[in-house]
Amino acid sequence: MKKSKLKSLKKAERKTAQKDIKTGLLTAITEAAAAFGKGSKKLNKQIEKSAKQLSKILVKDVTIDKAALQSKDEEAKAEKILKETTPAKEDITASVS
């Protein structure tokens, strides 16, 4: 696999990891804030901003396995080839009507 392709796959994996971390933090902090009192728009906005910043910091320490990315890419290529080579099944009941 080319180095540029691998780099873009790693970047995409980091983005998905960051989104997952952000949503997890957001729900946990929002639930904790709701337990202590009524929330506000300003508080929710601050929670979102803080969750985004913290997720950026946490994602920097995440390591992504190159071998796993390569196997995912190979599986995706194999599925694509199978879809292209397998003829589409025709709907027999549609022609009977």
- For 36-75, the pLDDT digits (tens) are 887 788 999 999 999 999 999 999 888 777 776 667 666 6
pLDDT at 52: 93
CB distance 33 to 47 below 8 Å = yes
Mean per-residue pLDDT for 18-47? 90
- pLDDT score, position 14: 87
Residue 80: count of CB within 10 angstroms of its CB: 10
Output the DSSP codes for 13-54: HHHHHHHHHHHHHHHHHHHHHHHHS---HHHHHHHHHHHHHH
- What average pLDDT does this structure show over 6-24? 87
pTM: 0.63
Residue 19: Cβ within 10 Å count: 13
Q: Please give the structure tokens belonging to residue 67.
A: 């071998």
Evaluate if residue 84 carries a pLDDT over 60. Answer: yes
Alpha carbons 16 and 18: distance in angstroms, whole number: 5
